[in-house]
């Protein structure tokens, strides 16, 4: 799950405006361990993006299909969202 959330974050952040990126950066600097900060980032993304859950579900489906097929995951979500 951690790898999926990290990859989804990397795919979405380049599409954000400056104010949204600042909110994500603040969540990344929050106290807690890496997983807590990553979850905080996704809370910010869910609040900021009206289509976050659609993106999440699309990415989850693609990620699961690739994981089941043993396909290459690195950059998969970036390609899905046009970032790589």
Other beta carbons within 10 Å of 10: 15
Q: Tell me, what's the pLDDT at 67?
A: 75
Enter the DSSP assignment of 31. S
Q: Write down the pLDDT at residue 36.
A: 93
In the structure, what pLDDT confidence band is assigned to residue 84 with cuts at 50, 70 and 90?
very low
Per-residue pLDDT at 59: 87
pLDDT at 83 over 70: no
The confidence score (pLDDT) of residue 72 equals: 52
Q: Which tens digits make up the pLDDT trace of 24-68?
A: 999 999 999 999 999 999 999 999 999 999 999 988 888 888 777
Q: Are 24 and 13 in contact (CB under 8 A)?
A: yes
Question: How far is Cα 38 from Cα 61, in angstroms, rounded to an integer?
Answer: 20
Residues ≥6 apart with Cβ < 8 Å to 51: none
- Closest C-alpha among 49, 31, 35 to residue 6: 35
């Amino acid at each position: 799950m951690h790898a999926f959330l990290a990859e989804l974050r990397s795919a979405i952040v380049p599409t954000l405006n400056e104010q949204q990126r600042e909110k994500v950066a603040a969540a990344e600097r929050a106290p807690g361990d890496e997983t807590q900060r990553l979850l905080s980032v996704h809370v910010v993304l869910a609040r900021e993006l009206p289509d976050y859950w659609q993106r999440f579900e699309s990415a989850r489906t693609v990620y699961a299909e690739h994981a089941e097929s043993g396909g290459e995951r690195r950059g998969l979500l970036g390609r899905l969202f046009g970032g790589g």
